[in-house]
A and B are shown apart, each in its own frame.
Chain A
Amino acid sequence: MNSSLWHEVPSSWYLILSALLFSLGVIGFLIKRTLITVFMSIELMLNAVNLSFVTFAHDWHAVKGQIFVFFVMMVAAAEAAVGLAIIISVYRSRATLNVDQIDLMKL
């Protein structure tokens, strides 16, 4: 094995991992039929982005990158709380969490 590789993982790998996770999150966002699962895919996407931020922060020795991740985490937590509350009220009014059946906004 390449010795440099043994000791040093290129940051591009982290970034590609991040991209991969993000894509998987988008796929899940598109194909999943339960509202909660869709929401979980969104969280996955947010985490992927966090990973890339941290990678870059490490690459350029920029602490601001990690600060940003900190804030993303905070906002994601808040958003998760509110989003789940919405999901609960949707369940209460529609009695289903099937994405295809929540189409009251149809023209």
Chain B
Amino acid sequence: MNAHLHLWLIPILPFAGFLVNGLLGRRLPKALVSAVALGFPLASLMVVARAALIFFSLKPQPIPWLITYGSWINAGPLHLDFSLYLDQLSLLMLGVITGVGFLIHIYSVGYMAHEDGYWRYFSYLNLFLFFMTTLVLAENYLLMFVGWEGVGLASYLLIGFYYEKKSAADAGKKAFVVNRIGDFGFLLGMFLLLSQFGSLSFFQIGTNLTANPALQGGILTAIALCLVVGACGKSAQIPLYVWLPDAMEGPTPVSALIHAATMVTAGVYMISRTHFIFDRSPLALSVVAIIGAATALFAATIALVQTDIKRVLAYSTISQLGYMFLGCGVAAYSAAVFHLMTHAFFKALLFLAAGSVIHGLGGEQDMRKMGGLRKKLPVTFWTMTAGVIAIAGIWPFAGFFSKDAILYEAFQQGTLGKVLYVAGLVTALLTSFYMFRLWYLTFLGESRAGHGSEEHGASVHARSDTNLVQGAEHHQAIHESPWSMLTPLVILAILSLCGGWIGIENFGAYLAPVVGPVTDPALESGGKNLDYILSGVAVVVALLGWMIAHTFYSRKNDRAAKLATAASGPYSLLVHKYWIDELYHNVIVTPITLASRYILGWLGEVVIIRGSTWLLGGIATLLGELLRRWQSGNLRSYSAWLAAGAAVLLFFAVVGAVLGIGGTELRMVWAGQ
């Protein structure tokens, strides 16, 4: 294998950036911190680009690169190496991660310019890049798990970036703990894999499976389901999605990078990378598909009534991830990854544009206090429009191609598939609706911001980007963002437009060596015509959603309020997010806290640990008290004990000699000389 690819540089360069900014950043001037923070990811991007060039220049077919950097664990039958693996899938993911990541870094330079922890932010961001690239480059489950955990750590650090705010710190904890639950499933999956295959290397497991075509279901289903639990935690699916809305407490670029474009897609990536396990277990695939469709629908319904612009986008992310899971669940991995890529473009764009809006308004995030920003933030407006159309899935923007591919594949999978297709279609309707609702509320109509900016003291301090308000120049006047923030928006908008033009056939052909061939519509039942029909239906549904949003929100009217009061039951249910957070808190968190307090806290800590130390000390003291009496200073008692001891010794010696045990040498002495 050609070692000139220098794959190790791809994770290590951001890590170096993390070290430099983390250790020295506090004392460096801001310009230098920015230079370091941008330079290392850019260098990593260069290495990725170069690797891509080399990869694609191979004739006639690019072959995957497996580079081993030394043995990691060598314990008996368990062998694990630091192996990095480059193929079409990981190359694609690396492109997305480093490319979109770099754009977001540029954006952050402008967005976080007035923050105190500027250096800290960028060091964490670089740390995240390090772990994420490790995750996608890993060739075995354990190295991937290192990246998996690491991105969870970086996410915690970044969500809790404003650590002095309790809500932010709590959100960081929540994200980490819920991810941990998922990681537990991942660990169980790894243990089962080890017991079944004796190895955690993708390569070895893949070859093992191809050599055993008869191995189906059973243990593989168990493994797959455990891994799915992990994926649900990381990719915020039911039931472990609850951390993602709270994660909006972090700075907006963080939400864009981690909670839209990259970290949350780790679950989808993992399933696609190790699809050979899932392919053998139809049950697991169905579970994945059902979870995906259900989550998509569920999250979309919640997004309908949210008022915080970032919350809408958060639930939208959960919903779109549901689509990706659906795609994986119907074994259409190429479609899922295609959607992953296009979603990275438009969701990052949406988040960054929302950040631009928030920045322009001086920290306001409540959509009820926005409106009429179209003229005041023109670049933001046009780029966000591109993102909204893309996510709604309207041709020719990127979302259309990828979402349509998933829905098509779902439709093909028997009755369950058709049910899921309907669910996906309804979700598309809802998605279009709430995204255009957001669009109308934020940019069109008359400005309601007047009420807001005077109160930015109260309402804004309830939200995350409070420090923006402190920046003196940004007071009061609504203004467009600096070019450092707008340039990435423009680039991402262009990508949202043409990112899907590659088409699922070419995309699938690109990924085919990794995930298997994509089905050619021409060969399926219904043929190409069905494909066109379904695509048409999807576009119609999206436009329908737009129209409904138009009637409710385009001009100031109270149709939305009337509907809310008319259907107050469902409305309340949606506003309170189906009371899931409260449910979890009462059913899971409180009992565990109580159990921990009383079993570990009282029983374990007080009774057992303190008790046993007290007991040991007590025994020593007691013995001391007893034995002290012996040292009475009374000569006669000493002599008495002497005599007693001598008598006892004599007795036992004689008895022993007579009985033949011990002291038999006494007999020899008596024999004389």
- Asked if A and B form a direct contact in the complex, defined as CB atoms under 8 angstroms apart, the reply is yes
Chain B neighbourhood of A26, CB < 8 A: 643
Q: Given A102-B635, A103-B633, A103-B634 in contact, is the A62-B640 Cβ separation under 8 Å?
A: no
Q: Which residue of A lies closest to B640 (CB)?
A: A30
Inter-chain contact B643/A62, CB cutoff 8 Å:
no
B74 at interface by CB-CB < 8 Å? no
Q: Which residue of A lies closest to B637 (CB)?
A: A30
Q: Which residue of B lies closest to A27 (CB)?
A: B643
Total contacting residues, chain B, CB less than 8 A: 12
B82 to chain A, nearest CB (A): 65
In the bound assembly, the distance between CA atoms of A103 and B643 in angstroms comes to 19
In the bound assembly, the distance between CA atoms of A59 and B640 in angstroms comes to 33
Inter-chain contact B632/A60, CB cutoff 8 Å:
no
Inter-chain contact A105/B636, CB cutoff 8 Å:
no
Chain B neighbourhood of A59, CB < 8 A: 672
B176 to chain A, nearest CB (A): 58
A92 at interface by CB-CB < 8 Å? no
Inter-chain contact A30/B672, CB cutoff 8 Å:
no
The one of B631, B632, B636 in contact with A30, judged by C-beta atoms closer than 8 angstroms, is B636
In the bound assembly, the distance between CA atoms of A78 and B184 in angstroms comes to 82
In the complex, which residues 619-673 of chain B have their Cβ closer than 8 Å to any Cβ of chain A? 628, 631-636, 639-640, 643, 672-673
Q: Which residue of B lies closest to A29 (CB)?
A: B639
Chain A neighbourhood of B628, CB < 8 A: 107
Inter-chain contact A106/B639, CB cutoff 8 Å:
no
Interface 0/1 of A81-107, CB less than 8 Å to B = 000000000000000000110111111
The one of B632, B639, B640, B672 in contact with A103, judged by C-beta atoms closer than 8 angstroms, is B632
B651 to chain A, nearest CB (A): 14
Q: Given A26-B643, A30-B639 in contact, is the A64-B673 Cβ separation under 8 Å?
A: yes
Task: Give the secondary structure class of A's interface.
Answer: helix
Total contacting residues, chain A, CB less than 8 A: 18
Chain A neighbourhood of B672, CB < 8 A: 56, 59-60, 62
The one of B632, B636, B640, B673 in contact with A106, judged by C-beta atoms closer than 8 angstroms, is B632
The one of B633, B636, B673 in contact with A104, judged by C-beta atoms closer than 8 angstroms, is B633
Inter-chain contact B634/A30, CB cutoff 8 Å:
no
Chain A neighbourhood of B633, CB < 8 A: 103-107
Chain A neighbourhood of B639, CB < 8 A: 29-30, 38
Chain A neighbourhood of B640, CB < 8 A: 30
A25 to chain B, nearest CB (A): 10
Chain A neighbourhood of B631, CB < 8 A: 105-107
B148 to chain A, nearest CB (A): 64
In the bound assembly, the distance between CA atoms of A78 and B631 in angstroms comes to 29
B601 to chain A, nearest CB (A): 41
In the bound assembly, the distance between CA atoms of A38 and B634 in angstroms comes to 14
Total of A-B residue pairs, C-beta within 8 Å:
38
B650 to chain A, nearest CB (A): 11
In the bound assembly, the distance between CA atoms of A47 and B672 in angstroms comes to 22
The one of A56, A62, A100, A107 in contact with B636, judged by C-beta atoms closer than 8 angstroms, is A100
Interface 0/1 of A31-53, CB less than 8 Å to B = 10000001000000000000000
Inter-chain contact B673/A103, CB cutoff 8 Å:
no
Inter-chain contact B673/A29, CB cutoff 8 Å:
no
Chain B neighbourhood of A31, CB < 8 A: 636
Interface 0/1 of B596-635, CB less than 8 Å to A = 0000000000000000000000000000000010011111
- Considering residues B628, B631, B633, which has the most beta carbons from chain A within 10 angstroms of its beta carbon? B633
Chain A neighbourhood of B643, CB < 8 A: 26, 29-30
In the complex, which residues 1-35 of chain A have their Cβ closer than 8 Å to any Cβ of chain B? 26, 29-31
Inter-chain contact B673/A60, CB cutoff 8 Å:
yes
A79 to chain B, nearest CB (A): 16
Q: Which residue of A lies closest to B673 (CB)?
A: A62
Inter-chain contact A100/B634, CB cutoff 8 Å:
yes
Q: Given A29-B643, A30-B643, A107-B628 in contact, is the A100-B635 Cβ separation under 8 Å?
A: yes
Q: Which residue of A lies closest to B646 (CB)?
A: A26
In the bound assembly, the distance between CA atoms of A104 and B633 in angstroms comes to 6
A11 to chain B, nearest CB (A): 12
Chain B neighbourhood of A29, CB < 8 A: 639, 643
A32 to chain B, nearest CB (A): 9
In the bound assembly, the distance between CA atoms of A30 and B639 in angstroms comes to 6
Chain B neighbourhood of A106, CB < 8 A: 631-634
B631 to chain A, nearest CB (A): 4
In the bound assembly, the distance between CA atoms of A60 and B671 in angstroms comes to 9
A61 to chain B, nearest CB (A): 9
Chain B neighbourhood of A104, CB < 8 A: 633
In the bound assembly, the distance between CA atoms of A59 and B634 in angstroms comes to 42
In the bound assembly, the distance between CA atoms of A59 and B673 in angstroms comes to 11
In the bound assembly, the distance between CA atoms of A107 and B673 in angstroms comes to 49
Chain A neighbourhood of B632, CB < 8 A: 103, 106-107
Chain A neighbourhood of B636, CB < 8 A: 30-31, 99-100
B620 to chain A, nearest CB (A): 16
Chain B neighbourhood of A62, CB < 8 A: 672-673
- Considering residues B636, B643, B673, which has the most beta carbons from chain A within 10 angstroms of its beta carbon? B636
In the bound assembly, the distance between CA atoms of A100 and B628 in angstroms comes to 18
Chain A neighbourhood of B634, CB < 8 A: 100, 103, 106
B672 to chain A, nearest CB (A): 4
Interface 0/1 of B222-265, CB less than 8 Å to A = 00000000000000000000000000000000000000000000
Chain B neighbourhood of A30, CB < 8 A: 636, 639-640, 643
Chain B neighbourhood of A38, CB < 8 A: 635, 639
Q: Which residue of B lies closest to A64 (CB)?
A: B673
In the bound assembly, the distance between CA atoms of A60 and B635 in angstroms comes to 39
B362 to chain A, nearest CB (A): 79
Chain B neighbourhood of A56, CB < 8 A: 672
In the bound assembly, the distance between CA atoms of A98 and B615 in angstroms comes to 42
Chain A neighbourhood of B673, CB < 8 A: 60, 62, 64
A46 to chain B, nearest CB (A): 15
B24 to chain A, nearest CB (A): 63
Q: Which residue of B lies closest to A35 (CB)?
A: B635
B653 to chain A, nearest CB (A): 15
Q: Which residue of B lies closest to A60 (CB)?
A: B672
A interface residues, Cβ below 8 angstroms from B: 26, 29-31, 38, 56, 59-60, 62, 64, 99-100, 102-107
Question: 19 extra interchain contacts, Cβ-Cβ under 8 A, other than A30-B636, A30-B640, A62-B672?
Answer: A26-B643, A29-B643, A30-B643, A59-B672, A60-B673, A62-B673, A99-B635, A99-B636, A100-B634, A102-B635, A103-B632, A103-B633, A103-B634, A104-B633, A105-B631, A105-B633, A106-B632, A106-B634, A107-B631
B interface residues, Cβ below 8 angstroms from A: 628, 631-636, 639-640, 643, 672-673
10 contacts between A and B (CB under 8 A): A30-B639, A60-B672, A62-B673, A100-B634, A100-B635, A103-B634, A106-B633, A107-B628, A107-B631, A107-B632
